[in-house]
């Protein structure tokens, strides 16, 4: 490797220590993002990478960007990601089985090639002078320096970006808006439908769950007059999750009254 990239005046030792601790950790977290199965774990690792990048920004004389990184990325964006993950289903873990044959080796080969190219390019590039350092530009304060640029040179892009933000907010509202194809049936229509349907068994509504005086939670089927469990009284999604308790101990004849009598 010829002259190592852009020769920078040796930065203070604390920064080097910070870098050599945080950089391997952030690369490991980024790799972990690819390898973990659950999307939530990926999100946590992503948040770690973002926080370490914020620390790098602050170490490089960009405290404003560092704070914005924490507020916008780890605060807002990752929160949004986790929110959508909860909405879509936390258990929607990736299958990790490749659907296109041979995709993974090709992707890894291409990545090694690309990364090698970038790194060797950086190693060979030379600026012919040392790094200036951002201290002079930050003389009046980093926020003031950025504000000076933002509201003079970049005032037009700044306005365009505000238009983009509003468009994105409106667009997400339009996209997330749920169109109802049919009108919502009223209570009256539902009642008529129940009576017109084949059997009159559920005409008066489904039985409520719970066993009176013993266990009235929603996860226990109600008991019919003959002492057996009424399957229709428990919510179907509770049943699908396997959270329904067995009500046999509450059935007629099985009720163990000895415990209560001892008390």
Q: For residues 70-109, which are near another protein according to CB under 8 A?
A: 72-73, 76-77, 80-81, 84-85, 87-89, 92-96, 98-99, 103-104, 107-108
For the chain, state the CA radius of gyration: 31
**Which one of the spans 146-154, 184-192, 211-219, 228-236 is the region binding another protein (CB under 8 A)?**
146-154
Give whichever of 107 and 204 is closer to another protein, judged by the CB atom: 107
Smallest distance, Å, CB 189 to another protein? Answer: 25
Structural contact between residues 220 and 232, judged by C-beta atoms closer than 8 angstroms: no
User: Among residues 16 and 252, whose Cβ is nearest to another protein?
Assistant: 16
Q: Where are the beta strands (DSSP E) in the chain?
A: 222-223, 229-230
Using CB atoms within 10 Å of the CB of residue 69, give its burial: 0 to 12 exposed, 13 to 18 middle, 19+ buried: buried
Task: Considering the complex, state which of residue 140 and residue 243 has its C-beta at the smaller distance from another protein.
Answer: 140
Mark 16-55 with x for binding to another protein (rule: CB under 8 A) and - for no binding. x--x---x--xx--xx-xx----x--xx--x--xx--x--
Rounded to a whole number of angstroms, the minimum distance from the CB of residue 119 to another protein is: 6
Interaction residues for another protein, span 52-71 (CB under 8 A): 53, 56-57, 60-62, 64-65, 68-69
167, 169, 174, 180 alpha-carbon torsion, rounded to 10°: -170
Q: Which of 21-55 are b and which e, b meaning 16 or more Cβ less than 10 Å from the residue's Cβ?
A: ebeeebeebeebbeebeebbebbebbbbbbbbbbb
Rank residues 100 and 259 by Cβ distance to another protein and give the closer one: 100
CB closer to another protein, 164 vs 232: 164
Taking phi over 0 as left and psi of -120 to 50 as alpha, with beta for the rest, 221 belongs to: beta
Contact residue for another protein among 25, 124, 159, 171 (CB under 8 A): 171
């Amino acid at each position: 490797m010829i002259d190592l990239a852009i020769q920078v005046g040796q930065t203070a030792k604390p920064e080097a220590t910070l870098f050599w601790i945080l950089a391997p950790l952030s690369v490991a977290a980024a790799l972990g993002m690819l390898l973990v199965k659950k999307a939530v774990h990926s999100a946590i690792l992503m948040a770690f990478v973002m926080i370490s990048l914020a620390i790098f920004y602050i170490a490089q004389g960009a405290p404003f960007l560092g704070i914005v990184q924490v507020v916008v990325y780890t605060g807002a964006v990752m929160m949004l990601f986790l929110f959508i993950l909860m909405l879509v289903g936390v258990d929607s873990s990736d299958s990790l089985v490749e659907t296109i044959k041979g995709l993974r080796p090709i992707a890894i080969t291409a990545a090694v090639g690309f990364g090698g190219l970038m790194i060797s390019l950086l190693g060979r590039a030379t600026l012919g002078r040392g790094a200036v350092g951002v201290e002079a530009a930050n003389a009046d304060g980093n926020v003031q320096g950025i504000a000076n640029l933002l509201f003079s040179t970049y005032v037009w892009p700044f306005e365009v970006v505000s238009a983009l933000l509003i468009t994105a907010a409106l667009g997400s509202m339009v996209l997330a808006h749920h169109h109802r194809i049919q009108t919502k049936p009223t209570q009256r229509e539902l009642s008529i439908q129940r009576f017109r349907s084949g059997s009159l068994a559920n005409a008066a509504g489904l039985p409520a769950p719970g066993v009176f005086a013993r266990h009235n939670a929603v996860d226990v089927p109600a008991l019919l007059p003959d002492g057996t469990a009424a399957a229709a009284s428990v919510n179907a999604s509770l049943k699908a999750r396997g959270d329904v308790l067995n009500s046999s101990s509450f059935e007629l004849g099985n009720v163990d009254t000895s415990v209560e009598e001892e008390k």
